[in-house]
């Protein structure tokens, strides 16, 4: 594995772009050392929290807690952004901001990065419903995705105990555009599948960071995942792809993911199970394993012989 750039200082810069008349917040982190970048990583957040708490979380006594810092130290330009309806992006439209809307946001965010940084392709990582958004974006814009990582992903929803339980509240979610979140809800993310996979101090720091930005989040991804799957066609995803699944994840049914994986047309594909992890990979005790798997996939040499 690449070593961190010695003496590199990681700096962050906020950006704003528009999707029509909607303002979207973007956050960039990179090292100040000169030289060719390893690529541009775009992190895509999930249903219940904005981007910075997920990908740039700081926890005292937890080295490399920020995934953006970890990848920036290894020579990547890293970006995340808040979908419409989340965090610092606009929230005023009376919509539930479903997965398709999130894929639109990805298009707007990449438009901006391509224009300001001259990038043509991205290393895209999505977690949970962020993986669905990223996959739909890759389906719509294959020319923009160099490599695609889908973590805590779901295709049809078969074999998902979390979604089975969530469907009991589907009529409630369908009646509202936003659902309230609080500290107890954030804690439930770490207790519903397999308690013990995350440290208490990390759960608390994660909750603090989330709740500073939002006390409610859109219902659209929940409605889609409970009633409209599949929303992605694996046979239309052309980029090299890795499926990442936590050992105890209650969203990502194993057989469901294998069926999706088999249908991916690009032979440059991988399926990785991450031991000791439930749903929120970067906030788990074994988060460095998730980083390692993702880094290895993003730095894998392109095939020379293709047959």
pLDDT digits (tens, 9 = 90+) for 148-173: 999 999 999 999 999 999 999 999 99
Whose tokens are 């440290």? That residue is 199
Residue 220 belongs to a domain: yes
pTM of the model as a whole = 0.97
Residue 22 belongs to a domain: yes
- pLDDT recorded at residue 272: 98
- pLDDT recorded at residue 126: 98
- pLDDT recorded at residue 180: 98
Whose tokens are 């890795």? That residue is 242
- pLDDT recorded at residue 125: 99
Residue 304 belongs to a domain: no
Question: Average pLDDT for residues 22-50, to the nearest whole number?
Answer: 91
Confidence of residue 33 (pLDDT cuts 50, 70, 90): low
| Cβ–Cβ < 8 Å for 258, 271 | yes
Write out the DSSP string of 77-127: EEEEEPPTTSTTS---SSS---HHHHHHHHHHHHHHHHHHH----EEEEEE
Dihedral sign for Cα atoms in the order 276, 278, 279, 280 = negative
- pLDDT recorded at residue 37: 80
Sequence-ordered list of residues with C-beta below 8 angstroms from that of 52, at least 6 positions apart, any chain: 27, 80, 82, 87, 209, 213
Q: Which helix (H) or strand (E) holds 15?
A: strand 10-19
Residue 5 belongs to a domain: no
Residue 37 belongs to a domain: yes
The pair of three-digit structure tokens given for residue 25, joined into one six-digit string:
């917040």
- Determine the Cα–Cα distance for residues 86 and 303; give it in Å rounded to an integer: 38
Confidence of residue 49 (pLDDT cuts 50, 70, 90): very high
Could you give the dihedral angle defined by the CA atoms of residues 162, 166, 168 and 172, in that order, rounded to the nearest 10 degrees? 180
Among residues of the chain, what percentage have pLDDT more than 90?
Answer: 93
Residue 87 belongs to a domain: yes
pLDDT digits (tens, 9 = 90+) for 228-281: 999 999 999 999 999 999 999 999 899 999 999 999 999 999 999 999 999 999
Q: Read off the CATH number of the domain in which 238 is found.
A: 3.40.50.1820
Whose tokens are 């999930």? That residue is 46
- Determine the Cα–Cα distance for residues 207 and 44; give it in Å rounded to an integer: 18
- Determine the Cα–Cα distance for residues 269 and 240; give it in Å rounded to an integer: 5
Give the range of the structural domain holding residue 146, as residue numbers without chain letter.
10-298
- pLDDT recorded at residue 8: 77
Whether 124 shows a pLDDT value over 60: the answer reads yes
Residue 167 belongs to a domain: yes
Residue 3 belongs to a domain: no
How many domains are there within the chain? 1
């Amino acid at each position: 594995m690449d070593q961190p750039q010695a003496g590199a200082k990681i700096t962050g810069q906020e950006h704003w772009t528009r999707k029509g008349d909607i303002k979207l917040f973007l956050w960039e982190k990179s090292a100040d050392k000169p030289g060719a970048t390893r690529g541009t990583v775009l992190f895509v957040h999930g249903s219940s929290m904005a981007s910075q708490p997920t990908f740039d979380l700081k926890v005292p006594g937890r080295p490399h807690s920020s995934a953006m810092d970890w990848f920036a130290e290894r020579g990547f330009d890293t970006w995340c952004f808040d979908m419409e309806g989340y965090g610092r992006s606009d929230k005023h439209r009376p919509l539930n901001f479903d997965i398709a809307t999130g894929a639109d946001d990805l298009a707007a965010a990449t438009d901006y990065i391509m224009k300001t940084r001259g990038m043509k392709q991205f290393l895209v990582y999505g977690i949970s419903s962020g993986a669905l958004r990223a996959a739909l974006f890759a389906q719509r814009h294959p020319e923009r995705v160099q490599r695609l990582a889908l973590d805590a992903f779901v295709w049809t929803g078969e074999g998902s105990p979390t979604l089975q339980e969530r469907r009991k509240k589907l009529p409630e979610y369908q009646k509202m555009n936003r659902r309230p979140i609080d500290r107890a809800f954030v804690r439930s993310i770490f207790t519903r599948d397999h308690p013990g996979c995350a440290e208490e101090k990390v759960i608390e720091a994660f909750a603090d960071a989330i709740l500073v930005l939002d006390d409610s989040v859109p219902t659209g991804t929940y409605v889609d995942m409970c009633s409209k799957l599949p929303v992605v066609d694996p046979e239309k995803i052309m980029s090299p792809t890795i499926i990442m699944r936590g050992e105890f994840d209650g969203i990502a049914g194993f057989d469901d993911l294998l069926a999706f994986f088999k249908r991916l047309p690009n032979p440059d594909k991988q399926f990785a199970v991450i031991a000791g992890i439930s749903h929120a990979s970067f906030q788990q005790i074994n988060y460095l394993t998730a980083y390692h798997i993702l880094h290895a996939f993003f730095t894998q040499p392109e095939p020379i012989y293709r047959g």
